[in-house]
């Protein structure tokens, strides 16, 4: 991959990471603020489902954060854009759509077909 492309993905992933980290902060402070303002049990019940919802979002966010950090590591060690499965190059087009991917489109398609066949 060209240095120009690597720089592009490095910047893109860093921006995305910062944005997600800011969001996580907001979610945490939002959760504490709401808790103090609703002493009513009915509100607490809906607060509980809001909390579960937020925790699910946070779970997804933290998984994405991990993936972004791994992608940044791969940029540093030179393995970014290389398919983990076949060692071939992942197309720039695919990386732009999904910069945290570790599989080329052929391997991803095969993997999905296998998962489907196994009922995963």
Contacting residues toward Zn ion, per CB under 5 A: 83, 85-86, 88, 104, 107
Tell the smallest beta-carbon distance from residue 95 to Zn ion (Å). 13
Alpha-carbon distance 42 to 51, whole Å? Answer: 14
- Residue written as tokens 């791994």? 70
Nearer to Zn ion, 22 or 91 (CB): 91
The owner of tokens 């907001």 is 26
CB of 75 or CB of 107, closer to Zn ion: 107
Which residue in 100, 15, 10, 90 sits closest to 64, CA to CA?
100
User: From the CB of 104, what's the least distance to Zn ion, in Å?
Assistant: 4
Please state, in angstroms and rounded to a whole number, the distance separating the CA atoms of residues 62 and 98.
17
Nearer to Zn ion, 46 or 91 (CB): 91
Shortest CB 109 distance to Zn ion, Å: 10
Residues 6+ apart with CB under 8 A from 38: 44, 47
Query: Shortest distance, CB of residue 5 to Zn ion, whole angstroms?
Result: 18
Cβ distance to Zn ion smaller for residue 68 or 103: 103
Strand partners, 74: none
């Amino acid at each position: 991959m060209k240095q120009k492309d690597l720089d592009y993905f490095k910047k893109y992933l860093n921006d995305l990471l910062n944005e997600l980290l800011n969001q996580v902060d907001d979610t945490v402070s939002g959760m504490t603020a709401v808790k103090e303002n609703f002493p009513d049990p009915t509100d607490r019940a809906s607060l509980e489902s809001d909390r579960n919802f937020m925790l699910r979002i946070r779970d997804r966010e933290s998984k994405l954060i991990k993936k972004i950090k791994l992608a940044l590591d791969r940029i540093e060690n030179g393995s970014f854009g290389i398919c983990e499965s076949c060692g071939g190059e992942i197309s720039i087009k695919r990386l732009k759509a999904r910069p945290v991917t570790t599989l080329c489109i052929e391997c991803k398609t095969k993997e999905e077909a296998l998962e489907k066949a196994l009922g995963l």
